[in-house]
Amino acid sequence: MIIQPDLRGRHLLTLNDLSDREFLQLINLAQRLKEKKKEQPRGSEQLLRGKNIALVFEKASTRTRCAATAAAFDEGGHVEYLGKEDIHLGKKESVPDTARVLGRMFDGILFRGFAHATVSALADYAGVPVWNGLTDDAHPTQILADLLTVKQTFESLEGLTVVYVGDGRNNVCNSLMLGCAKAGVNFVNCCPPQLAPAKKHVKQVMQIAEKNRGTITVSQNVDDAVRGANVVYTDVWVSMGEEAVMDERIRLLKPYQVNMSMMQRTGNLESDRVIFLHCLPAFHNHDTVYTSECGALEVTDDVFEAPFSKVFDQAENRLHTIKAMMVATLGES
Ligand code: CP
Ligand code: NVA
């Protein structure tokens, strides 16, 4: 298999680490790897054979951890999971020291954690590719999966509008806004003013969008924002590490809950031109720590379970896109 883009030796800390072309090529590579997994028996052409990958996780994860594990194993690689209680990172040992040790033993490092500075320091010192599997600021690998899902649903990204509704300044929204700009997809960030994205980020993203003939809009008005949406996307109202502000977030974000009425207001439901996406985990009427008392939070159950909800295709695509990132940065064709 010809591996394109060739990102050998490169880090992925934010989507800014990729040119717009490389970003789209990585989504295409993921699509090819998805087809390869279906068509070819495992082990026929192992693109990560002999590669050792460290998964350094300060925060919990289902999708990112499992996607990375399955991706590496599919292609003949090996992973070692290092949770926050397993290693000395940040306690007895500094990030630069840990990075230099891991870099002598592993070919790549996937990091999930709190401060973005930690993943940057790992990248500065490890001497091997470091990938960001979520920090407080960014979640770049998620967006590769999101846009692959959109592309596979609509067959092309051209002319589409993604509307994100909710916490407009969290890691997922920051990266989604940037990813849409890079792909030339119109993006609307619908959020209360208290949770608006950083002005500097919006300005940078608008410049990228303009170059790719896309638009970026920040709006507080739900009716205006969702009209014409092809994708309605939301995320949790409280990200990992912010649990203390739950009550305030429920108050602020209740009008931004994704429900059937909001989906109707896109005007695209009848013509099957709108889907629902969520990076997951989602609070949608299930027995979770938050919803047992107050019911659904960011999305109602009828939307989450509707045929236009593509959240499990999106979750599956985490596997193929993380694999693409590993193969492009470590693989040998
Ligand atoms: N979407 C996502 O990153 O899920 P996990 O937290 O389960 O990895
Ligand atoms: N914004 C969420 C994303 C989880 C995948 C969080 O950081 O918890």
Ligand (nearest to CA of 238):
2
Q: Which of 191, 279, 284, 320 is catalytic?
A: 279
Q: 108-122, 224-238, 254-268, 272-286: which range is least confident on average?
A: 272-286
Residue whose CA is at the smallest distance from ligand 2 atom 8: 239
Integer angstrom CA distances of residue 182 from 176, 212, 235: 10, 7, 21
Cβ of 120 below 6 Å from ligand 2: no
- The predicted pLDDT at position 44 comes to 73
81 inside domain: yes
296 CA to middle of ligand 2, Å?
17
Which mutation among 57, 142, 172, 173 tests ligand 2's pocket best, with the greatest number of atoms within 8 A of CB? 172
Write down the mean pLDDT value for the chain. Answer: 96
Q: Which domain holds residue 103?
A: 15-138+318-330
165 inside domain: yes
41 inside domain: yes
Residue 254 has pLDDT above 60, yes or no: yes
- The predicted pLDDT at position 188 comes to 98
- The predicted pLDDT at position 230 comes to 98
Cβ of 236 below 6 Å from ligand 2: yes
Do 128 and 152 reside in the same domain of the chain?
no
Do 25 and 98 reside in the same domain of the chain?
yes
Do 82 and 228 reside in the same domain of the chain?
no
In the annotation, is 11 catalytic? no
Cβ of 135 below 6 Å from ligand 1: no
Which mutation among 134, 233, 298 tests ligand 1's pocket best, with the greatest number of atoms within 8 A of CB? 134
Q: What pLDDT band is residue 157 in, cutting at 50, 70 and 90? A: very high
Residue 81's CATH number: 3.40.50.1370
Cβ of 141 below 6 Å from ligand 2: no
Q: What pLDDT band is residue 2 in, cutting at 50, 70 and 90? A: very high
In the annotation, is 146 catalytic? no
- The predicted pLDDT at position 217 comes to 98
Do 134 and 282 reside in the same domain of the chain?
no
8 inside domain: no
Integer angstrom CA distances of residue 178 from 101, 120, 185, 240: 33, 19, 10, 21
Cβ of 312 below 6 Å from ligand 1: no
**What predicted TM-score, i.e. pTM, was given to this entire model?**
0.97
Question: Residue 112: which H helix or E strand, with range?
Answer: strand 108-112
CA separation for the pair 304, 295 (Å, rounded): 13
Q: What pLDDT band is residue 333 in, cutting at 50, 70 and 90? A: low
Number of domains in the chain: 2
In the annotation, is 318 catalytic? yes
Cβ of 189 below 6 Å from ligand 2: no
111 CA to middle of ligand 1, Å?
13
Ligand 1 atom, smallest distance to 60 CA:
6
183 inside domain: yes
CA separation for the pair 170, 180 (Å, rounded): 16
Do 133 and 190 reside in the same domain of the chain?
no
Nearest-CA neighbor of 154 among 188, 185, 187?
A: 185
In this prediction, residues 140-149 reach a mean pLDDT of 99
Cβ of 172 below 6 Å from ligand 2: yes
1 inside domain: no
